[in-house]
Chain A
Amino acid sequence: MEDSITILPAVTIAIPLIASVLIPLVGKYENLRDGITIIAALAMFGSVLAMLPSILDGGRITVQIIPLLPGGDLVLHVDAFGMVFALTAATLWLLNSFYAIGYMRSLQEHAQTRFFFCFAVAIAAAIGIAFSANLITLFIFYEILTIITYPLVVHVETEKAMREGRKYLAYLLIGGIFLLAAVILTYLLTGTTAFVPGGFLEGSGSPLILQILFLLFMVGFVKAAWMPIHAWLPAAMVAPTPVSAFLHAVAVVTAGVFGIVRIAGWVYGLDLMAVLGLGTLLAVIASFTIITASLFALIEDNLKLRLAYSTVSQLSYILLGVSMLSIAGMMGAMAHIPIHAFLKITLFFVAGAAIVSAGKEYISDMKGIGTKMPIACLMFSVAAIGICGLPPMAGIISKMYLAIGAVEGGMAVLLIVLTASAALNVAYFFPVIYTMFLDRPGDLSSLDSVTEPPLTMLVPIILTAMMSIVIFFFPSMPFFDLIEIAIAEIMGQEVL
């Protein structure tokens, strides 16, 4: 299929940027300001959708923005895999915007203008990462995302928030330095940084150099929160819940794993990865993270922190899929990006709802809240079951592919890891569900003030939970079609 050239990708990024200019200008008028957020979210979603058909046909869209540096100009390029991320981010941003407005207003948070300004820039950066045509462009948007999410993370401005914010910034910026070094090294080895399906590094340096380079990339994509460099993610839990949702589902961690998959498929290529033994390395890191993070989640009483460790663990499913270096593995990895995003955002939404309408952060305090906010808690259960990989939720699809990949590759260990992790998921989620619905607090009157969250929050919760069910029944539209195209690309086959 031919590359077509339109300015739509640039428009998609420009929309939230324009919104970010307008938001501070009309900051005094709350409704107008939040209206701009919503309109921008809708417009951006529409513009991503408008590109979908041509991508589904196997086409690609390229926009050259401006010549920039030796090694790469600022170029946007929409392909199937980028579309997976962009579509996920655009959809979830739309829902998250409604939710955030409801959340911020319910709690009467301060500095809302700053909050929505940063939100708008952050989503622009996330889409930029999805549409990056080369490592330079990717790096630029990646760094912008780091900086602009900092004010969101430290939003509450307490001593604790500032301390955790520093940790967040330190991890991500140091990661950024490694990524920059990796990008420059790649350029020196090959003279280019543009992504090529199937990779372009082959034969450009000694195996040792390429292995070191891969490690640089791995540390660079610290946003993927693999252990032991995951500590920024739990630290970022001081943020308001819509931010957590944004970090965990819409953009930030997704950007990290997206980057690693990009590197594997479009810089190294699976064959080269296999030759260099990088699959094994990834598998070890991923397995370690999956199990350890699940254990951490098990003992955490703060619901948001438990979810954070759950994210750390789930992200490594994606790395695990990549590490198999096979079609099924990549399939599972790529599919897990949107699926995990939809499930995890639901969980965070409900955790935030518990804070807003019940004022409860700790699982041990949540006894019986399911009776007062049944819909929200039901949706939590739906998503939790999905994460555990049980039908009829989308979680099972990606895990199935991962299992198939493990069996095909004859990697029994990985199968054990997957099984153990599924058991652990059940072990840390089901007690929450039990507490919510079946436990009763000693003092029943403490539940009196608990109600369902406002509609701006409840509707997004229901929608995201439903989406994960819809994906289970209709997986091909559109995510799996996109993923198949992407995999055909990197495997060097003609697009089906």
Chain B
Amino acid sequence: MTLIDQLPIFLIIFPVLAALLILAAGWYDRRFCYPVFLLTVLFQFLLSVFFLFMVMHGGEIRYYVGGWRPPLGIELVIDAFSGFVLATIMLLALATAIYAKKSIDLEIPHEKTVSFYVLFQLLIIGLVGMTVTGDVFNLYVFLEISSIAAYVLIASSRRSFSYVAAFNYLVLGSLAAGFILLGIGNLYVVTGTLNMGELAVFLLESYHLATVHSAFLLLIIGFSIKAAFFPLHLWLPDAYTEAPSAVTVLISTVMAKVSVYALIRFLFSVFTPSYIIETFPVTECILIISAIAIIAGAVLAIAQGDLKRLLAYSSVSQIGYIMFGIGVANQIALEGGLLHILGHALMKGCLFMVAGLIIYRMGTSKLSDMKGISQTMPISCAAFALAGASMIGIPPTIGFISKYYLVLGAFEAGLWIYAAVLLAGSLLAVCYIWRFIEIAYFAGAHDDHRVDNRSTGSREGPVSMLAPMLFLALLCLILGFYVEMVMEVIGPAADLLLGGA
């Protein structure tokens, strides 16, 4: 066996070692923590791109941990779908890692930075693990790793309310984990295996069993909580708002996406489209709830006076878009939903980065304090405008492309009303995005309260924060043009998921 064959496990093992190394380095000298962390994430990112490339050209990669074949051993599987999600989350993780340094120096108490980087690394490990594993129990383990890291990270900001937010999330997250574990247990009772591929085959004979139905429901509810799918999103607004900026960026983009990934995995790969459409028709239900999520999330977002909270509710709405694609469950809509995983990660990442930079620079996330801020922070506001346009779905951004696919899919399935809801949802997105745009750009050449740009100095912010933000914003636009490239990955992924239909 060559080293290349062993690469998949490096995706997990190497960062775990790195996490320990960060701890050791921090003991020696705090300054070494960040470089180690950054290099590890960079390594993981390059590896994920490499895997994506391999999968596109050579088919799926299977790796048996310790050489034990399933059902005894744990299997890592990188196929078109997980490869795509893996590359997406690592891209965002890398951007966040670059962005995090300055923001963390400011927002995290100095003595906590070492443990912060360790936990940050663990969070990423957990999420990567969830993405690549082919074993449902292993998935649960990684889920817990990432969740526990996330609880602590959310609580790590200087603001006291962050403890409440973290505790809320802890309660709901543990509940979710409990549901998921029960679901997995049920599946094991019925089939005697924990491997996803085998589960899919063995479950076929047991689709009529109540045990399977209950497992299915438990899993869906559990992952819906983790993904903040309306109305199970209650932990999300506080958690996103109170967490340190860099953590918000990571959990809003990467973590939420991985939960959605896991949900889709269970819906389409462990259970099959025939189960979720015919045996236990849940897609209709998902569709209705996602339509409500799109509208409700957006309406709640409009009502917020805090930029981070506004963006948090917008996430509730946007998760609805992704679930919409699942609910329609035809090729085109599912492609739209998957594309929105990437698209939403890019734009929400960028928007939260802007919010973080405004906090870094102005010390506030209240919209009312941001009048005329485009004068002081032109680059950030331009990035916000671009990513915001993508959120609304204005062509030619990536947000428009996914919206187009979703509407096209809904039309094709004859779901006219739902398509109308989707389009209306994008109008509501205009309302909340525009609240910031109006305040930042147009709030009063005639207003005395506007931010004074002379007193705050000339530099907008550190390059290490501006660059990833701008990069994500431009990616929203560029991928809108070169969407064909992305679709070459997403097409096979959607094929794969619907393959059993």
Alpha-carbon gap, A464 to B439, bound state (A): 38
Q: Taking A173-B427, A174-B427 as contacts, is the C-beta distance between A140 and B445 under 8 angstroms?
A: no
B484 and A67 form a contact (CB under 8 A): yes
Give chain A's interface residue range (CB within 8 Å of chain B).
20 to 34
Please tell me if B482 contacts chain A, counting CB pairs below 8 Å: yes
How many residues does chain B have at the interface if contact means C-beta atoms less than 8 Å apart?
Answer: 32
Q: Are B423 and A140 neighbours in the complex by a CB distance under 8 Å?
A: no
Given contacts A69-B401, A69-B483, A188 and B427 within 8 Å (CB-CB): no
Q: Are B419 and A181 in contact (CB under 8 A)?
A: yes
Partner of A143, one of B394, B444, B482: B394
Query: Does any Cβ of A come within 8 Å of B395's Cβ?
Result: yes
> How far apart are A23's CB and chain B's nearest CB, in angstroms?
13
Which B residues are CB-close (under 8 A) to A71?
408
Specify which of A140, A143, A184 lies most central, judged by the most chain B CB atoms within 10 Å of its CB.
A184
Instruction: Report the stretch among A80-88, A154-162, A304-312 that lies at the interface.
Output: A154-162
Choose among B407, B443, B481 the residue that contacts A180 (Cβ–Cβ < 8 A).
Answer: B407
Chain B residues near A156 (CB-CB < 8 A)? 445
When the two chains form the complex, which single residue of A110, A139, A140, A173 contacts B430, counting CB atoms closer than 8 Å? A173
| Measured CA separation A188–B408 after assembly (Å) | 8
Given contacts A111-B445, A147-B394, A157-B446, contact A181 B430 (CB under 8 A): no
For A169, the chain B residues whose CB sits under 8 A away are 430, 434
Judged by a CB distance under 8 angstroms, whether A215 is at the interface is no
Q: Mostly helix, strand, loop or mixed at chain B's interface?
A: helix
B445: A residues at CB distance < 8 A = 110-111, 156-157
Tell whether A68 pairs with B483 under 8 Å between CB atoms, given A177-B426, A181-B407: yes
A390 adjacent to chain B (CB < 8 Å): no
CB distance from A156 to the nearest CB of B (A): 8
A184 touches B483 (CB 8 A): no
* A67→B485 CA distance, assembly (Å): 10
- Tell me the complex Cα distance, A162–B411, Å: 35
Question: Which one of A154, A166, A180 contacts B404 once the chains associate, using CB atoms below 8 Å?
Answer: A180
- B404:A144 contact, CB within 8 angstroms: no
Report whether B427 and A177 are in contact in the complex, using a CB–CB cutoff of 8 Å.
yes
Determine if B484 and A66 form an interchain contact, defined as CB atoms under 8 angstroms apart.
Answer: yes
Residues of B within 8 A of A188 (CB): 408, 411-412
- Most A CB within 10 A of own CB, among B424, B443, B481: B481
Q: Is A185 an interface residue (CB 8 A)?
A: yes
- Assembled-state Cα–Cα distance A140/B403 (Å): 13
Assembled-state Cα–Cα distance A68/B483 (Å):
6
Q: Closest approach, in angstroms, between the C-beta of A75 and any C-beta of chain B?
A: 13
Contact between chains at A147 and B427 (CB < 8 Å): no
- B332 is an interface residue with CB less than 8 A from chain A: yes
Residue pair A68, B442 in contact (C-beta under 8 Å): no
Residue of A nearest to B374 (CB): A114
Determine the distance from Cα of A173 to Cα of B426 in the docked complex, in whole angstroms: 10
Q: Tell me, in angstroms, the Cα distance from A158 to B445 when the chains sit together.
A: 8
Residue on B with the closest CB to A165? B442
Asked if A478 is at the interface of the complex by the 8 Å CB criterion, the answer is no
Residues of A within 8 A of B396 (CB): 68, 74, 140, 144
Tell me if B389 is interfacial: C-beta within 8 Å of chain A: yes
- Contact A184 B427, CB 8 Å, known A69-B483, A70-B332, A157-B446: no
Given contacts A74-B396, A157-B446, A184-B404, 15 further A-B contacts (CB under 8 A): A67-B484, A68-B483, A68-B484, A70-B332, A70-B408, A139-B395, A144-B396, A147-B394, A154-B442, A157-B442, A162-B442, A173-B427, A177-B423, A181-B407, A185-B411
Q: Which 9 A-B pairs have the closest CB atoms?
A: A140-B395, A157-B445, A177-B423, A67-B484, A157-B442, A143-B395, A184-B408, A140-B396, A143-B394
Q: Could you list some 7 contacts between A and B, CB below 8 A?
A: A74-B481, A110-B445, A143-B395, A151-B441, A162-B442, A177-B426, A187-B408
Which residues of A are at the interface with B, using a C-beta cutoff of 8 A? 66-71, 74, 110-111, 139-140, 143-144, 147, 151, 154, 156-158, 161-162, 165-166, 169, 173-174, 177, 180-181, 184-185, 187-188
